[in-house]
Structure 1
Amino acid sequence: MELSTAAKKVVVFDYGFGNVRSAERALARTGADVEITRDYDRAMNADGLLVPGVGAFAACMKGLKEARGDWIIDRRLSGGRPVMGICVGMQILFARGIEHGEETEGLDEWPGSVEPLQADIVPHMGWNTVDAPTDSELFAGLDADARFYFVHSYAVHDWSLETHNAAIRAPRVTWSTHGKPFVAAVENGALWATQFHPEKSGDAGAQLLNNWIGTL
């Protein structure tokens, strides 16, 4: 069933890491006009840019830079143009990633480190609930017990970004728990992201993507 959203142009950024076809199909379900590309002009001019990510933090950062994705994301955000990251596409938005003792610089849009999950069972694979802020736009219309699909071994366990200017809306941070609580999603101005895979999360994921598209 196609959800009721005006056709917005959305680019799924193809830098070699991510389930781009799954993301394309999920976004198309919202009624968006979706294209998979790494073309600079198309990525810059789209109403929304989706950055997926699967694999190691360091490899994703390398692929992103080779495709000039780091520059595109920075330029879009500088102009208030919406960007959404998924899974490792969220993780690379933080300052650094630490995997197997190796530290890799991220895009530093948010402070914090992506580190190994602190849980008895890793990876965290399967369905889980989240604790979203009451004023969340991303999770609007979703029940508190809605479940989303996670596949990851690393996460951000601490959130340190604060907004002291009353005129600027503070970031809305959503949490989930696997062993220790971790950041499951962030809404911060034009930059939104999820640790889970909305494109694999059934109707709940479709509603979440529809919420994002509706803000473009």
Structure 2
Amino acid sequence: MIAIIDYGAGNIKSLQFALSKVNLDSCLTTDIETIRNAEAIILPGVGAFKDAMDALNGLGLAATIKDEASAGKPLLGICLGMQLFYERSYEDGDWEGLGLIKGNVSRIPDTVKVPHMGWNTLQHHQNSELLNDIREDAYVYFVHSYAVTDDQQEDLISSSQYGGLIPSIVKYKNVTGMQFHPEKSGETGLQLLKNFGEMIS
């Protein structure tokens, strides 16, 4: 069972539906024991970084996520959920993240239209089980105004170009992030979720 953390950050029914399509059992929860007993955790998210961190801290879930990451449990962060895994965000201030991966989150430059919304391609930087049957230049669906910066090159699995390099898939030990929405990314997104499920097992 995969625990999808349901802390009020967006519509996550479509994510649960996508997981069921690739035969991955999941539950929406904020219950700490359920999260601890799950095989893996997905942290979704849309909206503002500070509001999301305040919600996680208010529910006592930030500490739980950190504990489970330290114990080696597979974690997947989607869109804002990926950004929350990093050390800091400069979205309307300077906010502390979960600090599971080194790097910060900054606004996409105004040389391009912000938010970055719609389909964009993936360029792969290293081999990973996450990329099984994912071709170079596969399209995935983005909706975001902020992106990871100051990150570690060895954590970068795939990137996209939009006003510069956007880290699109990252992985540090047992912690994985996808800046796009796999549940809105058609067959490519379903394959990525399937690959995450196979890494769990």
- Length-normalised TM-score, structure 1: 0.88
* Correspondence for 1:138 among 111, 130, 138: 130
Aligned to 2:86: 94
* Correspondence for 1:152 among 139, 144, 148: 144
Instruction: Name structure 2 gaps, 5 residues minimum.
Output: none
Residues 1:208 and 2:188 aligned together: no
> Is the 8 Å Cα contact of residues 126 and 157 (structure 2) preserved in structure 1?
no
Counterpart Cα distance in 2 of 1:63 and 1:109 = 18
Aligned to 1:114: 105
Residues 1:69 and 2:61 aligned together: yes
Secondary structure, aligned partner of 2:87: strand
Secondary structure, aligned partner of 1:109: coil
Residues 1:103 and 2:86 aligned together: no
Secondary structure, aligned partner of 1:215: helix
Secondary structure, aligned partner of 2:130: coil
> Is the 8 Å Cα contact of residues 142 and 204 (structure 1) preserved in structure 2?
yes
Secondary structure, aligned partner of 1:148: strand
Counterpart Cα distance in 2 of 1:157 and 1:130 = 17
Aligned to 2:167: 183
Counterpart Cα distance in 2 of 1:178 and 1:59 = 26
For residues 139-161 of structure 1, the C-alpha deviation after alignment (integer angstroms, 9 at most, x for no partner) is 21111121000000000133237
Which moved further from structure 2: 73-82 or 147-156? 73-82
Counterpart Cα distance in 1 of 2:27 and 2:197 = 14
Counterpart Cα distance in 1 of 2:185 and 2:47 = 19
* Correspondence for 1:35 among 27, 38, 48: 27
Aligned to 1:4: none
Q: Offset at 1:172? A: 4.2
For residues 48-74 of structure 1, the C-alpha deviation after alignment (integer angstroms, 9 at most, x for no partner) is 110001001101111111122211211
User: Counterpart of 2:157 in structure 1: which amino acid?
Assistant: V
Counterpart Cα distance in 1 of 2:81 and 2:174 = 15
> Is the 8 Å Cα contact of residues 84 and 193 (structure 1) preserved in structure 2?
yes
Matched pairs, number: 199
Secondary structure, aligned partner of 2:149: coil
Secondary structure, aligned partner of 1:99: coil
Secondary structure, aligned partner of 1:36: strand
Counterpart Cα distance in 2 of 1:143 and 1:210 = 15
Q: Offset at 1:133? A: 2.7
For residues 155-199 of structure 1, the C-alpha deviation after alignment (integer angstroms, 9 at most, x for no partner) is 0133237xxxxxxxx534321111111211112221111000001
Residues 1:59 and 2:51 aligned together: yes
Percentage identity across paired residues of the two chains: 38
> Is the 8 Å Cα contact of residues 96 and 108 (structure 1) preserved in structure 2?
yes
Secondary structure, aligned partner of 2:8: coil
Structure with greater helix percent: 2
Residues 1:171 and 2:155 aligned together: yes
> Is the 8 Å Cα contact of residues 198 and 209 (structure 1) preserved in structure 2?
yes
Instruction: Name structure 1 gaps, 5 residues minimum.
Output: 1-8, 162-169
